[in-house]
Structure 1
Amino acid sequence: MRRSRRLSVSAALALGASAVLLAPLPAQAAAPSPDAPSKVVSAYFADWDVYGRGYDVKDIPATQLNVIQYAFGVPTYDPTTGTASCGILDPWADYQQVYWTGDNTVDGVADDPNNLDQHLFGNFNQLQKLKAANPGLKVEISLGGWTKSTWFSTLASTPQLRQSFVASCIDTFIKGNLPGGGWPAGAGGAGAAAGLFDGIDLDWEYPTQVAGGNNDVGPADRHNATLLAAEFRKQLDAYGTTTGKHYLLTAALPAATSSTKYYELKDFSKYLDWDNVMTYDFNVASGPKASPNTLFTYDPRDPNASNMTWNTTGTVAYYLLNGVPASKIVVGVPFYGQQYLRTGSANHGLYTAFDNTGLDPNALDADLAPQPTYHALVDQGGYVDAAGVTGGAGYTVNWDLLAGEPYLSNPAAPHNLTTGAATVPTVIAFSSPRSIGERTKLIKALHLRGAMAWEISQDSDSHTLIGALAPVLQ
């Protein structure tokens, strides 16, 4: 029967609580290591942030989160030699970029490229400084992602490749042995980044699935992913016995029923400190209707409404029912929206057909980006205030009562498109402090591990979205 109103937060919490009661009892989860935070607010920081928005490490609001996931390290395989390795995505941004003045540094101290004893520059150096100023802060290296998961299937396919790949990742990022020979002359070298990374985050997107050009995918990936996680846990623990430290192992995992399609979810998760569940991109511009990017609760009008887990509360319940302890579930939230052009007029354009011709996936401006950031909506376009309540520039803030999500609508929004009319009806589904606050309540009520955001540079200048997650740490 079609519901007349949105599932309330209290009802959503009851759904999750019921899932806990109905779930088969998992094996007793080991208590979190003293080195692993018991509550988590984590956010990705991408190495390219210093280029696009000009967002530097110093801009990260380190008092409002306790884990940074650095994107990305690159799983690599050489078919000619059969060699597995774990590489640097952008050496310049990562550890070679010189900060000539203190304006963009964490501590106000400029780099000295002529100092051969300075082996870290760029983001890695600034992250070290950020950790020094915030002793409880953890930094993980995230491996793969949508475009760099190319070789995961191959690297996970045999014991020998798993062992050598994991050893390479630990050597490069945990032991900090970076390539040298570039400029500045002192940059990189043995142990240059030692102590920077507190663990590894696996972003294999996705086992058994061709994502951004993955090679050699197949049904065996599902079990091989578990074996790969086991190998990471084994080698991280072994190295930890030599340093007296517990190294984190986490993973970015899919939402809804796709989680068990791609992963042996319970078995895979037991090797992790926690699961970063990507409860977003439920709807994207390849879908049939202008729909929420992330849904908090079930909406029968959604194009994927036949799947009851296709929302945040449904996904959390599904993870619990599949044996993942609440203490390992970290709920993902997007700091960006989904933009839909040439929508219909019904329901302010939500759940109507659309045509996104003319949008540019490489654009940073709100009027051209298919997935505009909250920063672009608030600080650049002025479409909405930082509180996510009041619209501007012709946009109205609406609330989807069923999904528990905000969206912007403008019946005649101007766009710098090269084709079509100068103004078109537009809908932008986005995250706001109110919708993120619902996640915070869910996390606290069900004693979940915490929240994760993609990604920190996409927040408003006033950090309102990460601020809505900060109470998780209290």
Structure 2
Amino acid sequence: MRRSRRLFASVAVVAGVGLALAAPPAQASTTKPTPDAPRKVVTAYFADWDVYGRGYYVKDIPATKLNVIQYAFGVPGYDPATGKASCDVLDPWADYQQVYWTGDNTVDGVADDPSDPDQHLFGNFNQLRKLKAANPHLKVEISLGGWTKSTWFSKLASTPQLRQQFVSSCIDTFIKGDLPGGGWPEGAGGAGSAAGLFDGIDIDWEYPTQVADGNVDPGPADRHNATLLAAEFRKQLDAYGATTGKHYLLTAALPAATSSTKYYELREFSKYLDWDNVMTYDFNVASGPKASPNTLFTPDPRDPNAKNLTWNTSGTVAYYLLNGVPANKIVVGVPFYGQQYLRTGSANHGLYTAFDNTGTDPNSLTVDVAPQPSYHALVDEGGYVDAAGTKGGSGYTVYWNPLAGEPFLSNPAAEHPNLTTGPATVPTVIAFSSPRSIGERTKLVKALGLRGAMAWELSQDSDSHALISALGPILG
């Protein structure tokens, strides 16, 4: 406990919460900054399924407000019958086969021409290529795995042969751009068809040693094997980069709090990365006991996990620093979505009271029944809050939690017409991120000399880009 108190005291808490700072000196990186690797980062995920869900297209990305896009997802694969590793696209249609018959949803207003024998990229990949051409500062990474596609990471990282095969396959598919052909349009894909699109690889292994969403054969060896896998990625990316004269980025999505060192050899793993994207969100979700903040900036003694002083953004940053990760490799994660809690109590406007989310639908984008409604849904569809995150609507009131440094919405009689069971009118709390709370992260990044910030994910921001705009000073 004494060590934990020192840990928390070492973080510079900025944003007016009133805690004193005595940050330890940031450790220098073991490698010199690479000229074409951005020294300050605002990065955000773009998911290939966004074109289906909200109808959010590459053209909608506010490219001037960030400098790195992480494309979700590439799929780590393994065939038990042949023992072969692979690295594949997730959705060929959305990724590189979907034809844009008009210019309405294209970056440059120019429609695709599937009869053109020289056009081999369609869909998101083609539009990302156009977006990069129009914004030379922009880099795009392919993110591998994620919560649902980390299935084979443990196997792929388990032997030198599989690590070599897997990394080589990822470089072939995404860096060299050798996409599968044989689909429609007939010219889509082929050797080198996506060459130059991706500037690097982001490892989203969730999580070494854990079953998580169904990972096969996880075990204690994963922790060290993850380091060996990162080393193999760095080795092969550098070797290929020597032939092209380009530095290829290598990053990873890493967990917050003390679990980061439970799953990873944090210092050693990070040595191979350009930066660490730290997922400082989902501290509390709808499977927890109380209606609590999704992402805390500082600790709140009322939080169910308050005894863990790393269970918040500031504490996590301190933990990373004390575990040997240089400040200039830390990228702070922010969510563009909230946590919705139904049938809450009345004390404290429902915050930190028991709740019952029966009847909600995790697969729904409808704001009143989504356990994790996006900021776009709260602002532009539900009218629950304005884009500034300060004024409520539709019966909701905005409150500020000064201890956690987070806002929340409360409505003692919220209408939920799409609930599958129970009364449609119930007390509701929605913990969410606002420009103000994201601004706290921006100040923290600048005060401690951190690398930047990362967001999940672009389509969840408001139409006015309120949340990504709050990260702007990082690049300024």
Verify same fold: TM over 0.5: yes
Indicate the residue corresponding to 1:362 in structure 2: 363
Q: Following the alignment from structure 1 to structure 2, what is the Cα–Cα distance between the partners of residues 55 and 69?
A: 15
Q: Following the alignment from structure 2 to structure 1, what is the Cα–Cα distance between the partners of residues 17 and 324?
A: 18
Indicate the residue corresponding to 2:457 in structure 1: 455
Note if contact 2:27-2:327 (Cα within 8 Å) is conserved in structure 1: no
- The one-letter code of the counterpart of 2:453 is A
Indicate the residue corresponding to 1:20 in structure 2: 24
Cα RMSD for the two superposed structures: 1.6
Q: 1:470, CA displacement in angstroms?
A: 1.2
Indicate the residue corresponding to 2:126 in structure 1: 125
- Equivalences for residues 423-442 of structure 1 within 5 A: 423-442=425-444
Q: 1:31, CA displacement in angstroms?
A: 2.1
Does residue 1:466 correspond to 2:458, yes or no?
Answer: no
C-alpha spacing 1:27/1:408, structure 2 compared with 1 (3 Å): closer
SS in 1 for 2:161: helix
Aligned length: 466
C-alpha spacing 1:16/1:273, structure 2 compared with 1 (3 Å): farther
Indicate the residue corresponding to 1:207 in structure 2: 208
- The one-letter code of the counterpart of 1:59 is D
Q: Following the alignment from structure 1 to structure 2, what is the Cα–Cα distance between the partners of residues 26 and 467?
A: 29
Note if contact 1:16-1:317 (Cα within 8 Å) is conserved in structure 2: no
Q: Deviations over 1:25-56 (max 9, x none)?
A: 85753222111000000000000000000000
Indicate the residue corresponding to 1:237 in structure 2: 238
SS in 2 for 1:340: strand
SS in 2 for 1:18: coil
Q: Following the alignment from structure 2 to structure 1, what is the Cα–Cα distance between the partners of residues 162 and 16?
A: 43
- Equivalences for residues 44-443 of structure 1 within 5 A: 44-415=45-416, 416-443=418-445
Q: Deviations over 1:332-351 (max 9, x none)?
A: 00000000000000000000
Note if contact 1:173-1:197 (Cα within 8 Å) is conserved in structure 2: yes
Note if contact 1:17-1:446 (Cα within 8 Å) is conserved in structure 2: no
Note if contact 1:19-1:320 (Cα within 8 Å) is conserved in structure 2: no
Q: Deviations over 1:215-250 (max 9, x none)?
A: 010000000000000000000000000000000000
C-alpha spacing 1:449/1:27, structure 2 compared with 1 (3 Å): closer
Q: 1:264, CA displacement in angstroms?
A: 0.1
Note if contact 1:48-1:93 (Cα within 8 Å) is conserved in structure 2: yes
Q: 1:17, CA displacement in angstroms?
A: 5.6
Q: Following the alignment from structure 1 to structure 2, what is the Cα–Cα distance between the partners of residues 34 and 16?
A: 35
- The one-letter code of the counterpart of 2:103 is G
SS in 2 for 1:103: coil
Q: Following the alignment from structure 2 to structure 1, what is the Cα–Cα distance between the partners of residues 117 and 183?
A: 12
**Identity rate of aligned residues, in percent?**
84
Q: 1:301, CA displacement in angstroms?
A: 0.5
Q: 1:465, CA displacement in angstroms?
A: 0.1
SS in 2 for 1:318: helix
- The one-letter code of the counterpart of 2:287 is S
SS in 1 for 2:24: helix
Indicate the residue corresponding to 1:30 in structure 2: 31
C-alpha spacing 1:240/1:283, structure 2 compared with 1 (3 Å): same
Q: Following the alignment from structure 1 to structure 2, what is the Cα–Cα distance between the partners of residues 323 and 172?
A: 33
Note if contact 1:407-1:428 (Cα within 8 Å) is conserved in structure 2: yes
SS in 1 for 2:118: coil
Query: Which ranges in structure 2 are unaligned for 5 or more consecutive residues?
Result: 6-10
Note if contact 2:339-2:431 (Cα within 8 Å) is conserved in structure 1: yes
Note if contact 1:13-1:442 (Cα within 8 Å) is conserved in structure 2: no
SS in 1 for 2:318: helix
- The one-letter code of the counterpart of 1:433 is P
Q: 1:111, CA displacement in angstroms?
A: 0.1
Q: Following the alignment from structure 1 to structure 2, what is the Cα–Cα distance between the partners of residues 457 and 432?
A: 15
Q: TM-score of the superposition, structure 2-length normalised? A: 0.96
Between 275-284 and 412-421, report the one with greater CA deviation. Answer: 412-421
Q: 1:15, CA displacement in angstroms?
A: 7.4
Note if contact 1:13-1:445 (Cα within 8 Å) is conserved in structure 2: no
Q: Following the alignment from structure 1 to structure 2, what is the Cα–Cα distance between the partners of residues 360 and 96?
A: 31
Q: 1:20, CA displacement in angstroms?
A: 2.0
- The one-letter code of the counterpart of 1:468 is A
Q: 1:146, CA displacement in angstroms?
A: 0.2
Q: 1:417, CA displacement in angstroms?
A: 1.1
SS in 2 for 1:277: strand
Between 30-39 and 236-245, report the one with greater CA deviation. Answer: 30-39
Between 239-248 and 417-426, report the one with greater CA deviation. Answer: 417-426
Indicate the residue corresponding to 1:4 in structure 2: none
Q: Following the alignment from structure 1 to structure 2, what is the Cα–Cα distance between the partners of residues 261 and 8?
A: 24
- The one-letter code of the counterpart of 1:449 is R
Note if contact 2:71-2:142 (Cα within 8 Å) is conserved in structure 1: yes
Q: 1:420, CA displacement in angstroms?
A: 1.1
Note if contact 2:58-2:127 (Cα within 8 Å) is conserved in structure 1: yes
Q: 1:16, CA displacement in angstroms?
A: 9.3
Note if contact 1:16-1:446 (Cα within 8 Å) is conserved in structure 2: no
> Hey, which bits of structure 1, 4+ residues long, moved more than 4 A?
11-17, 25-28
- The one-letter code of the counterpart of 1:73 is G
Q: Deviations over 1:140-160 (max 9, x none)?
A: 000000000000000000000
